[in-house]
Amino acid sequence: MKHGKNYNNALAQVDREGLLTIVEALDKVKTISTAKFDETVELAIRLGVDPRKAEQIVRGTISLPAGTGKTNRVAVFATGEAAQAARDAGADEVGAEDLVAKVAGGFLDFDVAIATPELMGQVGGLGRVLGPRGLMPNPKTGTVTTDVAKAVTEFKGGRVEYRTDKIGNVQLRVGKVSFSRDDLVRNVQAVIDEIVRVKPASAKGRYLTSITVSSTMGPGVKIDPARVHGDDEVLAPA
């Protein structure tokens, strides 16, 4: 892939083999960010798991201490009082059969989908649409719930969902370049601590294989997994 001059200049300032502390890595990301917009800071963690095994899929949600710098657009599948509660909490789209039909027709202008349990029979039919985009409501992530107002408030306020992809990577946004270094450090540390906390019991060998942080338009900067306050079992090589 061919990159522009700014990217190549930023890449020249990164030791591609070097492993930094969280603070050092975020300082570097902020320093080499040159875009004219407020870039998103993204964290990628490669895990020593086998996502083909259901018990080794790592997924859940976490509220970032300093937020994400973005207000999620939230769609809620609900009826009656739950639907009204979702609207009152600030949901962007609320509906039942009508919203199911709208999404089936191609509407995907939202970042999080929440559903009440009784609507999941209908929402389940959207698996081919929502699944590949990571938008299918799931009880494990708090997006299938009877308390939709609480869920809407949390996801609007900085709660994000994470899940291993097909090769064992967890990727999520952890703020904006304009955030203070301390706020970015708090967010990155919170995510790493959460990923360590939910380590599958069946995962063997090195768990935190690699950690990389980057801005939207910048190259990845590597963080040393041995310096993120993990425990020996998590960090031990295979």
* Rounded Cα gap, residues 138 and 145, in angstroms: 9
* Rounded Cα gap, residues 165 and 134, in angstroms: 10
**Closest CA relative to residue 186, chosen from 30, 14, 22:** 22
- Is the pLDDT at 234 greater than 60? The verdict is no
* Rounded Cα gap, residues 100 and 113, in angstroms: 11
Model pLDDT for residues 130-152, shown as the tens digit of each residue: 998 889 999 988 999 999 999 99
Model pLDDT for residues 65-110, shown as the tens digit of each residue: 998 888 889 999 999 999 999 999 999 999 999 999 999 999 999 9
* Rounded Cα gap, residues 193 and 99, in angstroms: 36
* Four-way CATH pick for 5-67+160-235: 3.30.190.20, 3.30.56.10, 3.90.1150.10, 3.40.50.1000: 3.30.190.20
Give residues with Cβ within 8 angstroms of 111, minimum separation 6. Answer: 72, 73, 74, 155
Tokens linked to 38: 């407020």
Q: Report the SS3 class of residue 24.
A: helix
Give the residue range(s) of CATH 3.40.50.790 domains in the chain: 74-156
pLDDT confidence of residue 16: 72
Give residues with Cβ within 8 angstroms of 24, minimum separation 6. Answer: none
Burial letters 69-83, b for 16+ CB under 10 A, else e: beebebbbbbeeebb
For residue 159, name the pLDDT band (cuts at 50, 70, 90): confident
**Closest CA relative to residue 214, chosen from 224, 206, 223:** 223
The model's pTM = 0.76
Q: Are 148 and 116 in contact (CB under 8 A)?
A: yes
Give the residue range(s) of CATH 3.30.190.20 domains in the chain: 5-67+160-235
Question: Fold for domain 74-156?
Answer: Rossmann fold (3.40.50)
